Amino acid sequence: MTHFDRRSVLAATLALAMGCAGLAASDALAEADYPTRPITMLVGYGAGGQTDLVARATAHVMSDKLGQPVNVVNKPGVGGAVAARELKRAAPDGYTVLFNSNAMINLAPFLMKNAYFAPDEFDYAGMITAFQLAIAAPKDAPFDDIAGYVAWAEKNPGSSAAALAPEARLYINEIVKKTGIKVNIVPVQSGSEMINALLGGQVMVAYSGGIHYRYPDQLKTIAATTTFRHPSAPDVPTIEEQGYPLGMDTRTTLMLPKGTPQAVIDKLTAALKACAGDPNFKKVTDAADIPIQYLDAAAATKEMIDSTAKNKAIVEAAGVVAK
């Protein structure tokens, strides 16, 4: 299905290129008419993942609003870095956009060597959802916060914690550094593996990207590792409130090649904003416990720069060296 989409996009590109050669159409006119042909929305993950589902719902609303199809093209690899590289090569005309978690820019570069994008390498049309990153534990665990966990772990040395990503190791290591508890870090490779490890009682705590909120009867949240409290668990304090200044936010972001005309960005921002009020979009995000936190282009750019600086400082203070 997708390759037909791509082919029609290619055909359209070709037709436009030939048209331009003949007519030398003015840029300003093209911006005012935007969009006149289908838009390609790159997604940096495989089909079927959580962010892919949100991206498809976003594309649906945006194409209604813009009056042109928004075609989702999955370009999985390295948390979106492969797709981002493709976006950098695309023309800054608003016909190629990337829907991705901004962790690729504001967090991954400090933890892993191969991902290397800086905030000023792209333009941003806005942000639409936030990830409810958290430390989760089984519902029947004899503690409800980090202090309680530390007290329990002191009495039970050699227990295990599941780590899905490098930042998960950072959180556990920082707690270990501060308190001296003895805990083994078990690597897991997917969200469902992490849930299995928690439900199966193999680990006592785990770092979650938010999917543990789907198991309200079996799992609970110990700390939100974001700078805000989670809509799904408003009573649970953030990790910063609990005395560890380690809150790091990531959000789904609509990214554009650097140098996209302001008129085009404005139209994309307006279309993204329509998602925030769309009932079908809300249905998709509610089903996955993903809170909608819309930010417009200016706010998204500021959030990108600020969060990148903050996260960089946290990772460097923790002494993590990107490998």
Partner 1 sequence: MDYLIIGFQDVLNPTTLFWVTVGVTLGYVLGALPGLGKATGVAVAIPLTFYLEPAAALGMLIGIAKGSGAGSAVSAILLNTPGEPSSAPTALDGYPLARQGKAQKALKMGLYASVIGDLLSTLVLIGLAAPLARYALLIGPVELCAILLFSLTFIGGLSGNSMIKGMIAAAFGVFFATVGLETETFVTRLTFGVLELDDGLSLVPLAIGMLAVAEMIIQAGNIAALDHESSQIVDGAEREDRIVTGAEWRRCIPVILRGTLIGSIVGILPGLGASVGSFLSYGATKKASKTPEKYGTGMIEGVAAAESADNAVVPSSLVPLFALGIPGSVIAAILIAAFILHGLTPGPLMFQQQPRLVADVYASMICASFIMLAIGYFGQSLFALIIKVPLRHIIPAVLLLCSVGAYMETSSVFSIYVMLAFTVIGFFARKLDFSFVTFLIGFVIGPKLELTFRQSLQLLDHRADNLIHHPIAVVFIVLTVVTVLWLGRSGGGGITQASAEALPQAVGPASGQTNEKQ
User: What is the binding site for partner 1 (CB under 8 A)?
Assistant: 1-3, 6, 46-48, 50, 52-53, 56-57, 60, 73-78, 81-82, 85, 111-114, 158, 160, 166, 184-190, 192-193, 195-197, 199-203, 214-215, 217, 280, 283-284, 287-288, 323
Q: Smaller CB distance to partner 1: residue 3 or 155? A: 3
| Distance between CA atoms of residues 244 and 68, nearest Å | 47
- CB-wise, 217 or 235, nearer to partner 1? 217
CA angle 130, 136, 142 (to 5 degrees): 150
CB of 267 to partner 1, least distance (A): 23
Quickly tell me which residue has 């960005």 as its tokens: 265
Which residue number, 197 or 265, has a Cβ lying nearer to partner 1? Answer: 197
With beta carbons less than 8 A apart as the criterion, state whether 83 and 99 touch: no
CB closer to partner 1 out of 139 and 302: 139
Q: Which is nearer to partner 1, 216 or 243 (CB)?
A: 216
- Shortest distance (Å) from residue 303 CB to partner 1: 25
Choice between 111 and 175, CB closer to partner 1:
111
Closest approach of partner 1 to the CB of residue 278, in Å: 12
Q: How far is the CB of 99 from partner 1 (least distance, A)?
A: 14
Angle formed by the axes of helices 279-287 and 50-66, nearest 10°: 180
CB of 73 to partner 1, least distance (A): 5
CB 153 within 8 A of CB 182: yes
Q: Over the Cα atoms of the chain, what is R_g?
A: 21
Looking at beta carbons only, is 197 or 256 nearer to partner 1? Answer: 197
Nearer residue to partner 1 within complex by CB, 26 or 189: 189
Min dist. Cβ of residue 184 to partner 1 (A)? 4
Q: In whole angstroms, how close is the CB of 201 to partner 1 at the nearest point?
A: 8
Shortest distance, position 21 Cβ to partner 1, whole Å: 26
